[in-house]
Amino acid sequence: MISKPPTFTTKIDLSLKDKLLGDLKERDFEISKIPYSIFSAKKKNLVIVLYESGSLVVQGKDKEEFIEFYLEPEILKTFEYSNPEINISFKPRIGVDEAGKGDFFGPLCIGGVYADEKGIKKLLSIGVKDSKRINDKKILDLAKEIKNNFEISLIRLFPKKYNELYLKFKNLNFLLAWGHISVITNLNKKTKCQNALIDQFAHENVLNTLIKRKKLLINLEQRTKAESDPVVAAASIIARAGFLKGLEELSEEYEVELPKGASSEVIKIGKKIVSKHGPEILEKIAKIHFKTTEEIKND
């Protein structure tokens, strides 16, 4: 992880000074003036000073959040600070990602989001990032906002269907490829967008073969750590929210709180469920090709 200095300094166009000042006042900053400044704004854990030269200085405990969610999308119009590892493109595209792949209980979910330049800026402004870096409550809140503002596609493969498809494909990467291409196809039909980005999980020929078979006109980019891209990150949030809701639905149906992951706690809960309902229940609530299945069945 790239370490960041305690003070952030940048240059802004002074024609934006009134907007910046007005926005800070709306956010209940205390405004004052220090030598050579146009204004100084203070709030708990945050100090912002705009100098006559156009230099803007931000410091304080809440600096990261202020820069990422307000300063970059509203004033700077660049995202080099919050996303130094990538050069964000504003080219319209479809992003796709999955959730639940490593979880024994619950569905496999594959989500997709389409965003144009305006949409990408909105995703950044609402704090979209890789779902693995966001808690469950925030995931559900962000997913709702994304669904309300963007074209999305979500495939939820609950265990019964997942296990059937796994037997058919006999390989998780082939199953994932089918799901990713299905989501891309859905969004391509809705938006006519021909650019798609996904996290690389298999050899590129696996997906390219499916694209040719379906006669899709899609420029597909497969990139490692693609979740750093805001559109793929949005897709990861849609997929994760789908997984969390699916796990909750199964928990309610079988009156037991099904844990995430594939830990010793999962095995413990699995044994209790099997003792009550029999081993065949696992086909309805779990991905049975996991080695966890045998650990649960064995006393």
Please tell me the predicted confidence (pLDDT) of residue 191: 97
In angstroms, rounded to a whole number, what is the distance separating the alpha carbons of residues 96 and 207? 13
Give the domain range for residue 97. 93-248
Tally Cβ neighbours within 10 Å of residue 150: 21
Please tell me the predicted confidence (pLDDT) of residue 73: 83
Please tell me the predicted confidence (pLDDT) of residue 2: 44
Same domain, 69 and 190: no
Could you write out the DSSP letters of every residue in 118-157?
A: HHHHHHHHTT---GGGS-HHHHHHHHHHHHHHSEEEEEEE
Same domain, 63 and 163: no
Q: Domain holding 46: CATH number?
A: 3.30.310.10
Looking at the domain assignment, is residue 68 inside a domain?
yes
Q: Alpha-carbon Rg of the chain, whole angstroms?
A: 23
Q: List the chain residues with pLDDT less than 50.
A: 1-3
DSSP code of 105? B
Contacts of 35 (CB under 8 A, 6+ apart): none
Element (H, E) at 98: strand 93-99
Q: Domain holding 99: CATH number?
A: 3.30.420.10
Looking at the domain assignment, is residue 283 inside a domain?
no
Same domain, 198 and 118: yes
Same domain, 62 and 115: no
Same domain, 60 and 104: no
Same domain, 110 and 236: yes
Look at residues 231, 248, 265 and tell me which one is the last residue of a structural domain: 248
Please tell me the predicted confidence (pLDDT) of residue 83: 66
Please tell me the predicted confidence (pLDDT) of residue 205: 86
In angstroms, rounded to a whole number, what is the distance separating the alpha carbons of residues 180 and 54? 46
In angstroms, rounded to a whole number, what is the distance separating the alpha carbons of residues 240 and 231? 14
Please tell me the predicted confidence (pLDDT) of residue 4: 59
Looking at the domain assignment, is residue 298 inside a domain?
no
Looking at the domain assignment, is residue 69 inside a domain?
yes
Please tell me the predicted confidence (pLDDT) of residue 123: 92
Tell me the residue type at 134. Answer: I
Same domain, 66 and 174: no
Please give the tally of structural domains in the chain: 2
In angstroms, rounded to a whole number, what is the distance separating the alpha carbons of residues 123 and 238? 13
Same domain, 181 and 101: yes
Same domain, 108 and 44: no
Look at residues 248, 275, 293 and tell me which one is the last residue of a structural domain: 248
Count how many Cα atoms sit within 13 Å of the Cα of residue 133 in the half-sphere of its side chain: 9
Please tell me the predicted confidence (pLDDT) of residue 1: 40
Same domain, 61 and 188: no
Please tell me the predicted confidence (pLDDT) of residue 84: 60
